[in-house]
Amino acid sequence: MEKKNLDWANLSFSYVKTDYRYVANYTAAAGKWDEGGLTTDDQIVMSEDAGVLQYSQSVFEGLKAYTTKDGHIVTFRPDLNAQRMYDSAKRLEIPPVPVDQFVDAVHQVVKANEAWVPPYGTGATLYLRPYVFGISPVIGVKPADDYQFRVFCTPVGPYFKGGAKPIYVRITDYDRAAPHGTGNIKAGLNYAMSLEAIVEAHQAGFAENIYLDAATRTKIEETGGANILFVAQDDTLVVPKSNSILPSITRRSLVYVAEHYLGMKVDERPVYLKEVLDGEFKECGLCGTAAVISPIGKINDHGKDYEFASGMEEMGPWMSKLRSTLLGIQEGEIEAPEGWIHVIG
């Protein structure tokens, strides 16, 4: 199989139309998802009154396929993405896609687009975007009758070109998620309302917004698209816990790596902004599929800066160890826990 002629190491994180995508349909009449299959058609034709267009009834996932050191094409824990999209769908009254069908769809899309999977060593990956949305007309506020599930893929470049430099972030006055809202599901609606906040943050010179809990505005939640991790002065990995944080698969994997590979103590609990400002933590990082860990060097809280001991030059030693261990597991250089690596070819 001949690979596409792309400059893999210099791809950005943007959409490129690849050859195949997967489509399945659910109708209220059938009461179930159809078998689905691959298509080359990247266009969607739907009613002007589709549920997704009127009331944002849609949820999505994000995961990557990549080439391991020994030349296999794999995905990382796709069953967890499947389960998370199942849970997200239920919260928005979308008929959930069965976990096995999700994993099979991802498998089919990667296999059909093998020529687009970046070679090992380039740092690039094939990003997969599964999503499901209400496609039938809805005008009174209620769930749509019919739904479509799609998976497309797009090659994306290395997240860090030339090293993982610590970022400068701010505490924002916007809220991301209400206490019993939708913060714990992966839905486009959570992103739409974060756009103004992120545009303003970028204009002010910050890489990201850190959201506090909406109820008390005292606890650290996460950023718009990544969970947050801290390392305490006694080397414990401290992980903010709250019902309105999105359950990141990277974060859950890093917690396992910390305990079982690095022998770290892990404390998952509410984390107060005050603890950060009082110097309880020496390292901080964002985690998610794209970057694995992106180090935070400095936090701005309403004009006042707090810089972590690890500083603005390099990733701290623990974040660095966590990141390289999980990357090593993903790339087949370190033995993975049972079931983490889904081999496609």
Binding mask 253-292 for ligand PLP (x = CB under 6 A): -----------------------------------xx---
Q: Between 36 and 78, whose beta carbon lies closer to ligand PLP?
A: 78
Segment lying near ligand PLP (by CB under 6 A), choices 116-124, 128-136, 199-207, 220-228: 220-228
Known catalytic membership, residue 186? yes
Q: Between 224 and 297, whose beta carbon lies closer to ligand PLP?
A: 224
Q: From the CB of 291, what's the least distance to ligand PLP, in Å? A: 9
Q: Between 136 and 154, whose beta carbon lies closer to ligand PLP?
A: 154
Number of residues located near ligand PLP, criterion CB under 6 A: 13
Please give the torsion angle defined by the CA atoms of residues 234, 171, 194 and 245, in that order, rounded to the nearest 10 degrees: 30
> Residues 17, 64, 90, 186: which is the catalytic one?
186
| Contacting residue, 51, 78, 96, 225, with ligand PLP by CB under 6 A | 225
| Contacting residue, 246, 271, 273, 322, with ligand PLP by CB under 6 A | 246
| Contacting residue, 57, 227, 294, 310, with ligand PLP by CB under 6 A | 227
Rounded to 5 degrees, what are φ and ψ at 141?
A: -75, 105
Binding mask 168-207 for ligand PLP (x = CB under 6 A): ------------------x---------------------
Residue 125 found at the interface with ligand PLP (CB under 6 A):
no
Q: From the CB of 250, what's the least distance to ligand PLP, in Å? A: 3
Q: From the CB of 288, what's the least distance to ligand PLP, in Å? A: 4
Binding mask 301-320 for ligand PLP (x = CB under 6 A): --------------------
As a whole number of angstroms, the longest Cα–Cα distance in the chain is 60
Q: Residue 295: CA atoms inside 13 Å, Cβ hemisphere, count?
A: 27
| Contacting residue, 169, 226, 239, 276, with ligand PLP by CB under 6 A | 226
Q: Between 136 and 184, whose beta carbon lies closer to ligand PLP?
A: 184
Residues contributing to the site for ligand PLP (CB under 6 A) = 62, 186, 222, 225-227, 246, 248-251, 288-289
Annotated active-site positions, please? 186
